[in-house]
Structure 1
Amino acid sequence: MASDRSVGYIRLLKTNRPFRNLWYAQVVSELGDWLNSIAIFALVLKVSGTGMAMATAMMAKLLPIFFVSPLAGVLIDRMNRRTIMMVSDLLRFVVVLGFLLVEDANDLWLLYTLAVVEIALAGFFEPARSAVIPSLTTREDLVTANALSGSTWSVMLALGAALGGALVSLFGIKTAFVIDACTFLVSAWFVSRIQFPKSAAAREDATSSGKPHDNGWVDGLRYLIRKPLVGVLTMLKTGLALGGGMMTLIPLFANKMFATEAAISMATGLMYSARGLGAALGPVLVKRFFGDSTRVLHLSILAAFFLGAAGFYLLSHSFNLGTAAASIGLVTFFGSIIWVFSSALIHLKAEDRYLGRVFSTEMAMLTLIMGLSNWWVGYAIDRLGWTLHEVTLGLAGAFLLPGVCWGLFLLVSKQMRKRDAVDSVCPVEPSDSKLPPSSY
């Protein structure tokens, strides 16, 4: 059984050409994204080097999605999703080339501005890519498609971070930006080759046509309230984002361990590679050994929050590159389980015509909390005088909170299902008694 499941990824790519083109676009685009991130980290450390400057750069790469998501979600559900992805890629090609103009500390404003625009465009691309997956795959392949997409993100993180560190060390920061810009052109080409199956094309047209009674973003929020399970699933990545400050911690750990720009960039790339390697393995191994039933997905998410917090604890006690990289890999091993399985459950439970707004809401809250988590790391280090050890322990504690909430939600849901089952088997007969309630 395990071996049968393990070849599902290859089968999906071989037999599903539309999804294969979407996957190719993801591979190229995300490889460039991580080249870009390493280059930005190196540039900020070069012209400033403070914790707040790094945290500001991280917030510039995260928070814009929170503000564009209301518009993005509605457009994704009312327009052609493939067109939205292509336009986003082409515009990001132009924006990334702008990083070549950043020379010194006086240009930090330009770096932050370009990062804001780039990530705002990503706020259209990523929810559209997530929303289009059910139109390209069968329901039976949804978990496999999400696991493959999540693992691809992780592998590209590992390869892109390592390649970015090497390129910055050997050829300079600007080379990484040029390569990153070109990846968006390649991604747009692959997206242009996506052809929807006939059955899915009709559904996609219906989804993007809009409805007269549809109130856009407000209607999407009402849907999340009417469907509490979908609403809670949408917030799981927000819980995951409480530990997002690790993105700022990684280059600061590297800056503490090494002295030269080349060594810092290489160490940052290696730690991000460990982050990607750990993330690539989590969902794949769980799916292989335990399957992909709804119960497995639910319990895996619960365990991942607690075990991820343990990984942060180990990171807080790491004082060399090897132990830090291993701890980071452990955190993201469990974090990727939360990410991939929550997406799969949303695809299984949410209506297709709301998927754009669901995933935009998810990304909005995810990036808001992740941005605040990164800001808190910089603030705690620069203004409160906390050590890296103390800040990492704080992230470990924060990571436990959503795990507790998810466990309580599962427990309450289980009790409600039991009560409904009892009521359906033994319905309460209406009573003719006139006694007051206190007398029963």
Structure 2
Amino acid sequence: EMGHINHIVSKIAMSHPHIAFKLTHNGSEIINVQQTDSLLERVSAFLGQEMAKDILPIQLLTDWLEITGFLLPPSHTRPNREMQSLFVNNRYIVNKTISHAIYAGYHTMLPGGRYPIVVMFLKIDPLVVDVNVHPTKSEVRFHQEKEIHQLVVKAVRETFLNANLSPDMSVPAEGDREKRIREAINGYFGSTIYPEAGNWQSFSSPYSPLEKGDGGLLPPPEGDKRQDVGAGLAPVLLPLCQIYNTYIIVKGDDGVCIIDQHAAHERVVYERLMAQDRGILSQLSLLPISLELDYQETATMLESIPLLNELGFKIDEFGQNTFIIYGVPVGMTKNDPKETVLGILHDIQNTGKAKTSSELREDMIISMSCKTAIKAGQPLFAAEMSSLVQQLMETQQPHTCPHGRPTMIKLGMEELEKRFLRK
């Protein structure tokens, strides 16, 4: 019972910062928050200092709906929705539509089985809210659920697009010491081993920085408007080293960043493929590949052939439970087409529910990104690492792969100095 009381008082206190609240149990103080004019201050009191420092404000205004509140980046999650607080007209509510919309707003940024931490307030005409769903009046329905769902998704996604969630990789100017080191190295070897800013080779392949010689796995989409990082940025993002042929260590302006090369490349490939408005170019195989499937795989394949062809594969039915792969996406020469297609089919089967064509297309792209991205354990040259890091920092969501795993971890100077007892 005390748990339920604590839960209810917490929600009421969170939405009424202008009122002081105190809750005690058997002489112990459970809640004690002072009156404040700041909603952020009140919410932070319940989230705790560690999470409060990463809090992001959310706001979306229309002529009939106002969405405000706070959310936490994907680095803060929970195994359930207990840390999601939803309020309609300042009243705590439960609503599956809003909960689903919040989760959809975090799409491709959350690991499986994890849920975001959100405090959201909706201000809406009470006439469009049905409170007679549950005896406690906590669960509600809306008369415009589809529109509200779309607006909540939009509000969450725009919050992340407007927020700088990436590690601080600002560009310090090259000092005299760095310049002397570069000139000494170049002079010793008699060539430009350590180039100046702007002279780093740029790999334009959106699919893999390793396959420039093959023309890349995928040509850049027409009218690609991704922001150019700029000539002066590449040397600063030049990795210090690669460890275990899996992680790239990059020096930033205020610490170091450890990047998972596979997760990072997954994000790069995913966003490039999702940006393709037209079908992805194919190249014909010299020898068609026969693919024999079981009955369940065959049913999935028959439903998926149109979308697989759109993604650059060329597949035809060839007898009972047999298919021929005679084309693959341009540049995908280093991956086994049979294994890639089978992997995509199995991923689709494992989703366990019917999906729209756009959702199915995205599932295929996520699977394809994973199957074709740089693998853990794969050694990279310095220029390849530099290219991958640069491409990652140009993506819209560089901090997670499409499955929601983190692509990078930052160790700031303050943290390093604490570890070495310098502070």
Which band: TM-score by shorter chain? under 0.3
Higher RCO (CA < 8 A, seq sep 6+)? 1
Choose 1 or 2 for highest CA Rg. Answer: 2
> What's the TM-score, normalizing by structure 2?
0.24
Structure in which a larger fraction of residues adopt helix: 1
TM-score norm. by structure 1 comes to: 0.23
